[in-house]
Structures are given as C-alpha cells and as structure tokens.
C-alpha cells in the first residue's frame, strides 16, 4: 500500500496552480484523463476503419450531439418535400440494390434541403452550405444519401466535427453573428486547419448562395461502395444534378432577400410544387474499380477531395421528381431522421474517417433530439417494408407486440424473427481486408491540402473569381484579430498568388512575398458559368418576372408579354403602387398580385415595364419603382420595356451610351422598343435574355447607376 505523502501532493498542486496561472490547461476527457491527440480518431492502420474502442471520440461526439434541444445541432433550418426516384436502366452490373434495377419501378423519396450553421429561425439566404438529404423508401428498407450541395467538406476526420461547428456557430460570449461565418472564431479555426482550404474556396464561391433549392447540385461527399450479386465491389460517389441547371444569386441580393423574405427558399420550393412545377434532379455516379483506388494523386477516402469529372465521368442512372409538399412541417420535415448508416444490400461504406464517424454520430444525435430510440416508428421514418426485431419498450413505443418471445435464439416463437441469409436479402458487410496497429494518425495520402483548392480557383470564370474575392473581403473584413488575417493570407497564397494579392490589397495588408507555383489545371464542371453555357437548352421555366404597372397601363402590351412569359414556363406577376386592382388603358380591371411595399426586385429574376403614358408617369414619381429596376440592373438581371416604359429606364439612368434605347437586342440584357410593332420578336428576345440568368458584363462599375 502506497503511503500518502502530503508534501508530494502539495508540490503537484503548486505546479498545477503555476501552470494554470500562466494560462495553460491540459485537454482531458470528462473523467479528467489527459488526451494525447484529438485530431484523429483511433483506426486500424492509418487508412483503416475507426474503432468502436475509441472512448475519447465517442465521448466527444456523444456530448456534442446532445448540445442543443430540440432543434438539430446543424441543419436546423430546412424544407422537406416528397417525391419519387426512377432508374433509367438496371444497374445490376454494379450493385444488387433492388431500387436500382427496374426502370418501371418508382421508389418513394423524402428530401430535406437545409442550411447548416443557422438556427431554425435564421434566414434562408445566408452564405452557407446547403444540406441535400434524400431518403429512399425501398423494399429492402430505408436508404439515405445524406449530403450537401458542395462535394467536399472542411475536415478529414469526424473527431474534428465538434470543433468545426463550435467555431462556425455564433461566438459563445455574445451569441453573434447568427447564421454567418464572418467572425474571429471561425477564421481562427480555419487559419490553423490547412485541410479546410478546398472547402473554403467553395464556401466563398457562388455555390453558397443558391437561387433556389431547385437549382443547386447535391453530392454524397464520401466515397461509398457498390456491391453486385457476385460480391464484386467498386467505389462510388453520388451526384445530384438539377434539370433546371445550377444558378446562384449575388451577395447583396442574398442579404436583401433575407430581410424581405427570410423564407425565400422554402417558399420558392413549396410554391413551385403547388403550381405543378415539380423539381427534378438526375442522379449520377462516379464509379472507380477497386484496383484503381490508388491511381489518383489524391486519396479517394479523403472527404476534402473530389474526383474531377475529367478523370471519372459522372454516369447518369436515374431521375428524382419532387411532387408533393408535406402535410405538416413538424411531423415530417422536423422529425425526419436521416442517417448515413441507413443502407441496403448492394451499397456499403468505405473507410473514409469522416464517414465512419458520421455513421455513429447521426444515430446518436437522433436518439437525443427525438427523445427515444423509437424515433424510427414515427411515420416519416418508418420503412415501407415489414420490419421485425426483438427491440422493446422505451419512450414513444408505438408498436404493440403480441408475442411473448423477445429474444434470439428462441424455439417458443419458432425461431422468429429469424436471421436472413444473403441470398434472401440479408445484409452482409463487404469483406474488406483490414489490418494495422491501433494508432491516432492520419495517412500521408491525406496531406495535400492545396492542389484541389487551386484546381477550383483555376476553373472559375473571372466573374466567379471576383465574387469569391469579394466574399473573402467581407468575411475577413469582419475579423478583428490581425494574426488570424495574416495566417489566412498565407493559406490563400498556397492556393494562388493572384488570389492572395487581390485579397490582401482589398484588406489593406501586405501581400505575401513568396510566389507559389500554380499547377494550371482546370475542371470546367466546377464552374457554374461554364455549366450554364454548356446546357443544351436554356429555359426560363419557373422563373419569376415582375411586371411594373399601375392605372393606365398599356393592357395589350402587358397581356401579350405576360402570356408569352407564362407560355415559356415563367411566372409573371404584376407589381403596382397599390393593392387590389388597376385599370388598363382599355378601361378593364387587372388584379394586382404584389405592391412595392410587399415586394422587391431581389424576389424576381427579371423585370418588365409595359407602356402606357399614365402608368409610366405615376411610376416615375415612385422612388420604389425607380429603385426596383435600378437594383435589378445592379444585380445583372434581364430588364425589358416597351413604348413609354422605356422612359422609366431612362429616369433610372439605365440607357447609357452602351445601351440601345430602340432595339430588340442588347448585349447587356436590357431589351427595349419604343415603338413595338412586333411583340412576338420582342418577347422572344426578352425570354432569351432571362434564360442567360445574369448579364455579368454589367458588373463593370461604370455601367452601374450611382
């Protein structure tokens, strides 16, 4: 028995007190055990699967999962919708997943789109990643692809997720800012995490300002496996591509839309479905043979990396149609519990350490958030196929078992529920060889943090680069700590010297002197503008066009153009000085849908001003009307005017030397005709201008009205 020595105890306490006075604290578990590493989970080998033995990871993640009640810790603000998925052809060669076999079978789905950082009451249009989670209600059980609208992530190992979200969330001393990363804590964390730089480039890009949930891509992020009937496995990455194309808004527009309509995205989604404009997404996969796993200059298990489509093309395999809004937000959208662990035979995991952690974390947080392990019995979470097991009781137990047998093996219940062999649909994990020492280390193949960040920068158009730089200036301009800014400039310099030069000059800080070599590689699929240019058909379906009018409007012009827009699939709404009805120049009443008080140009994709001397004269006297079209011009949207309506554009100073005031075509998306004799040609040109989404040449300062 060791004798208690009060002198030694006093010496230890004095040393600890001195250490703490100097500001030092050892990181420990909640039990007081000092932690040697908190950057990597415990794995079988540096590229092996995470071990359940990792008590530090489990404690850290379990505590994090329970931090907020009752909303989701992340992805709290969301919008849900029902629909179906239908494959194009059998994928039997690659996977035995039944829902990917028969092109005639429609599998029900529920999709939840969301922001990540903000609370449930935050605005839809914050600069943020968007969640893109899809549940397939298959005959073999629920299968969830729980992804985002960005193909990569901030971190490589799930053990860092609590640290990331703590840094992203409002600073704890004042709960500011809401749903934004423009603060010291976030950028301090990022400046010390080079692995985040690829994701940061995407975060600062237009991808985090989607025009609509219906117009953004979705990605499974991780590398998964397809396994076929013969047991052959291949690696796979999932891609969702919107049929309407990928479109974004600008930062000024996002900020104003968040004020005018905080529900901008969820309202847009719900309204589109109510009107029968069902959102459609094509599911595609990148498939990599197991033997090719190591042929790339990056690790396919690294979630901060993507596989460029030039190296592995995306194979379209089916289409998802979203055609029904939820009946109740809470019961469905709020209570739906997605989990990466929800898989079916034919689909399996990889050893991606971020995925391995999510498999545990999501199930754990759903139990906490919904109050019971019986959350799977909620209608939105129940599979459509029969399910039987020996799990019993607990809070919210909906099932009423009638058998006295609740254990396995048993004979009193004839052995039921019995296990299922693989050939009868029983899930069997892929037999992947695993070996290695138990270590907290990261594979050397995860060490390149800048090549793909540079690839992303190189792939952007000049307009997209300008938006990215401005986003960086906004974010870092809100950071008060000089050391954080300096570290970020060094990281941006490792991405591209031109990039850091533009950012440093905008911040008024010295440009790093070392010029890092840019590899010069590009991937066109990473640019929104390039994708838009390559779309086989540019459409204005579901686009919203504001028609500015009041009493005395030229009814013939307005109705003709409005009908042409609606025939092309757009929604044309009359915005007037007052509600109720206005009178056209033919004396007939016209219903008003919105007023200048209840609307704004940021809620529309384009603007049209019809003629009518009385109407235009009244609009000219309305500052809101002039601001409406000036703001739309600033945001590079298509604008059109006929007859006297052209005068309103002149008042707003939109018809400068570079614009035609009497032509059907304009290189900057302003379509005008003072004496329209052919409204069909005029409407065709306006529709063409809208279909281009934005006219970025207007972003030149000399072209934007003061």
- State how far the Cα of 146 lies from the Cα of 437, in Å rounded to an integer: 31
Q: Do the bridges between strand 438-439 and strand 43-44 make them parallel or antiparallel, or are there none, so unpaired?
A: antiparallel
Instruction: Please count the residues of the chain.
Output: 706
How is residue 700 written in tokens? 């030149």
- State how far the Cα of 680 lies from the Cα of 662, in Å rounded to an integer: 16
CB contact at 8 A, 74 and 165:
yes
- State how far the Cα of 168 lies from the Cα of 183, in Å rounded to an integer: 9
| Residue in this structure with the two tokens 């529900």, named with its chain if needed | 263
- State how far the Cα of 475 lies from the Cα of 177, in Å rounded to an integer: 12
CB contact at 8 A, 205 and 464:
yes
| Residue in this structure with the two tokens 């002149």, named with its chain if needed | 650
- State how far the Cα of 405 lies from the Cα of 398, in Å rounded to an integer: 18
List the one residue out of 81, 136, 78, 133 whose CA is nearest residue 107: 136
CB within 8 Å of 123: residues ≥ 6 apart: 179, 257, 258, 259, 262, 264
Residue 83, SS3 per DSSP: strand
Give bridge partners of residue 609 from the DSSP assignment. 641
List the one residue out of 110, 109, 126 whose CA is nearest residue 118: 126
CB contact at 8 A, 235 and 223:
yes
Of the candidates 148, 185, 342, 381, the residue annotated as catalytic is 148
List the one residue out of 649, 529, 487, 510 whose CA is nearest residue 248: 529
Q: Where are the alpha helices (DSSP H) in 424-481?
A: 451-459, 462-477
Q: Is 591 exposed, middle or buried (0-12, 13-18, 19+ CB in 10 A)?
A: exposed
CB contact at 8 A, 178 and 171:
no
Q: List Cα–Cα distances, 521 to 311, 412, 453, 494, 506, in angstroms.
A: 12, 67, 11, 15, 26
CA–chain centroid gap for 659, Å, is 37
How is residue 426 written in tokens? 């029983």
| Residue in this structure with the two tokens 């093996």, named with its chain if needed | 409
* H or E segment and range at residue 639: strand 638-642
CB contact at 8 A, 307 and 288:
yes
- State how far the Cα of 647 lies from the Cα of 701, in Å rounded to an integer: 23
List the one residue out of 175, 320, 321, 329 whose CA is nearest residue 263: 329
Dmax over CA atoms of the chain, in Å, equals 106
* H or E segment and range at residue 500: helix 497-507
CA–chain centroid gap for 108, Å, is 22
Is 148 annotated in the active site?
yes
DSSP string, 520-536: ----GGG-HHHHHHH-S
List the one residue out of 137, 682, 72 whose CA is nearest residue 370: 72
Of the candidates 56, 75, 239, 635, the residue annotated as catalytic is 75
List, by residue number, the catalytic residues.
75, 148
């Amino acid at each position: 028995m060791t004798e208690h020595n009060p002198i030694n105890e006093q010496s230890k306490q004095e040393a600890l007190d001195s250490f703490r006075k100097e500001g030092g604290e050892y990181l420990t578990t909640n039990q007081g055990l000092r932690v040697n590493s908190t950057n990597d989970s415990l794995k079988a080998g540096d590229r092996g699967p995470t071990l359940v033995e990792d008590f530090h990871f489990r404690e850290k993640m379990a505590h994090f999962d329970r931090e907020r009640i009752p909303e989701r810790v992340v992805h709290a603000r969301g919008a849900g919708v029902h629909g179906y998925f239908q494959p194009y052809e059998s994928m039997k060669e690659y996977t035995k997943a039944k829902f990917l076999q028969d092109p005639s079978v429609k599998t029900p789905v529920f999709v939840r789109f969301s922001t990540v950082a903000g609370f449930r009451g935050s605005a839809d249009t914050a600069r943020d990643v968007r969640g893109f989670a899809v549940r397939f209600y298959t005959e073999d059980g629920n299968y969830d692809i729980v992804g985002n609208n960005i193909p990569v992530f901030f971190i490589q190992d799930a053990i860092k997720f609590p640290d990331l979200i703590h840094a992203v969330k409002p600073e704890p001393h004042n709960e500011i800012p809401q749903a934004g990363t423009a603060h010291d804590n976030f950028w301090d964390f990022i400046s010390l995490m080079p692995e985040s730089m690829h994701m940061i480039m995407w975060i600062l890009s237009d991808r985090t300002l989607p025009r609509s949930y219906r117009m953004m891509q979705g990605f499974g992020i991780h590398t998964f496996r397809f396994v076929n009937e013969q047991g052959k496995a291949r690696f796979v990455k999932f891609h969702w591509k919107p049929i309407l194309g990928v479109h974004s808004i600008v930062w000024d527009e996002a900020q104003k839309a968040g004020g005018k309509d905080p529900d901008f995205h969820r309202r847009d989604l719900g309204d589109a479905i109510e009107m029968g404009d069902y959102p459609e997404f094509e599911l595609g996969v990148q498939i990599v043979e197991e033997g090719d796993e190591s042929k790339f200059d990056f690790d396919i298990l690294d979630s901060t990396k993507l596989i460029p489509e030039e190296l592995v093309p995306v194979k379209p395999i089916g289409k998802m149609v979203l055609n029904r809004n939820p009946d109740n937000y809470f019961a469905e959208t709020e209570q739906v519990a997605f989990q990466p662990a929800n898989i079916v035979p034919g689909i399996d995991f990889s050893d991606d350490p971020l995925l391995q952690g999510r498999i545990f974390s999501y199930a754990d947080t759903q139990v906490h958030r919904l109050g019971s392990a019986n959350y799977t019995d909620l209608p939105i979470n129940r599979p459509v196929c029969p399910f039987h097991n020996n799990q019993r009781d607990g809070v919210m137990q909906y099932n009423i078992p009638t058998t006295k047998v609740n254990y396995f093996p048993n004979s009193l219940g004839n052995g039921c529920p019995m296990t299922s062999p693989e050939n009868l649909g029983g899930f069997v994990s892929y037999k992947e060889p695993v070996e290695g020492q138990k270590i907290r280390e990261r594979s050397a193949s995860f060490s390149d943090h800048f090549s793909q960040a540079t690839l992303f920068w190189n792939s952007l158009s000049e307009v997209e680069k300008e938006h990215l730089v401005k986003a960086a200036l906004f974010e870092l301009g809100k950071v008060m700590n000089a050391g954080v800014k300096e570290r970020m400039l060094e990281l941006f310099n490792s991405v591209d010297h031109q990039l850091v030069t533009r950012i440093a000059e905008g911040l008024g800080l010295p440009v790093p002197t070392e010029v890092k070599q840019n590899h010069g590689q590009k991937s066109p699929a990473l640019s929104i503008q390039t994708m838009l240019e390559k779309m086989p058909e540019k459409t204005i379906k579901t686009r919203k066009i504001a028609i500015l009018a009041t009493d005395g409007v030229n009814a013939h012009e307005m109705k003709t153009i409005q009908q042409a827009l609606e025939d092309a699939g757009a929604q044309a709404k009359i915005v007037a000085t007052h509600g109720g009805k206005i009178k056209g120049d033919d004396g007939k009443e016209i219903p008003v849908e919105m007023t200048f008080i209840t609307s704004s140009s940021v809620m529309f994709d384009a603007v049209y001003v019809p003629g009518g001397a009385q109407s235009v004269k009244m609009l000219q006297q309305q500052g809101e009307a002039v601001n409406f079209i000036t703001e739309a011009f600033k945001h590079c949207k298509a604008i059109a005017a006929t007859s006297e309506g052209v005068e309103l554009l002149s008042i707003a100073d939109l018809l400068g030397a570079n614009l035609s005031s009497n032509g059907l075509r304009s290189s900057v998306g302003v379509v005008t005709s003072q004496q329209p004799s052919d409204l069909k040609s005029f409407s065709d040109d306006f529709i063409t201008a809208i279909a281009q989404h934005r006219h970025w040449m207007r972003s030149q300062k000399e072209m934007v009205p003061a």
